Amino acid sequence: MLSAVLTGFVLGFSLILAIGAQNSFVLRQGLIGRHVFIVALFCSISDALLISIGVAGISIFLSNYIDLVSDWLFSISAIWLLGYGLLRLRDAINGKSVLIAKDSSVNELASTLSFLSVLTFANPHVYLDTVILIGTVSQQFPGNAKLAYVLGASLASFVFFFSLAYGAKFLSPIMQRPIAWRLLDSFIAFVMFILAIKMAQAASWF
């Protein structure tokens, strides 16, 4: 049972550790202190839900079905990541992020969650990682051990997202300087462009 929990936790944590659009967004929300708990909770629950779906056996269906729509999914993801990268590049050039962090009194929760929903559920790798990969690995565990595996993988998501969101506060003093925000936005834009290129390649654009 403990082995199943540890396997789920290590696998889940290793998959989610890579910097991506969702992780960058969570980090940014933690830095500006907007809806930190809700954002971390949303990402954690979303992962737990997808993991549960995968382990429940739907991964067997999706592994065949996703081949039929993978090019469309990767294309949509590439376009979205490119757009998000351009927004961050614009902020890096204009230096507006500090003003947003300090002066903006309105950052609607609904719009934040809507944007986060797209970053979470429009990313094909979310399904490939949480549903198909984690779901497939779970097949080695019988009965209650499979539930323990789900618990371990889901726990990894909660630990990661809450650590990322609230750990960002320690960077707050550094982020008071405009140059720091420019560098962060530039880095996020760079990551988004790299991911967009990878998605475009996966969609057979070139």
| Residue for token pair 């929300």 | 29
pLDDT-based confidence at residue 160 (cuts at 50, 70, 90): very high
pLDDT value of position 151: 95
Is the pLDDT at 201 greater than 70? The verdict is yes
Q: Average pLDDT for residues 171-181, to the nearest whole number?
A: 75
Lowest mean pLDDT among 8-12, 29-33, 100-104, 157-161: 100-104
Residue 41 contacts by C-beta under 8 Å, 6 or more apart in sequence? none
Structure tokens at 91: 């902020």
Q: Cβ(40)–Cβ(164) under 8 Å?
A: yes
Is the pLDDT at 154 greater than 70? The verdict is yes
Phi, psi values for residue 59, rounded to 5°: -60, -30
In terms of average pLDDT, the best of 91-95, 135-139, 146-150 is: 146-150
Q: Please, what is the average pLDDT of the chain? A: 80
Lowest mean pLDDT among 5-19, 28-42, 54-68, 183-197: 54-68
Is the pLDDT at 203 greater than 50? The verdict is yes
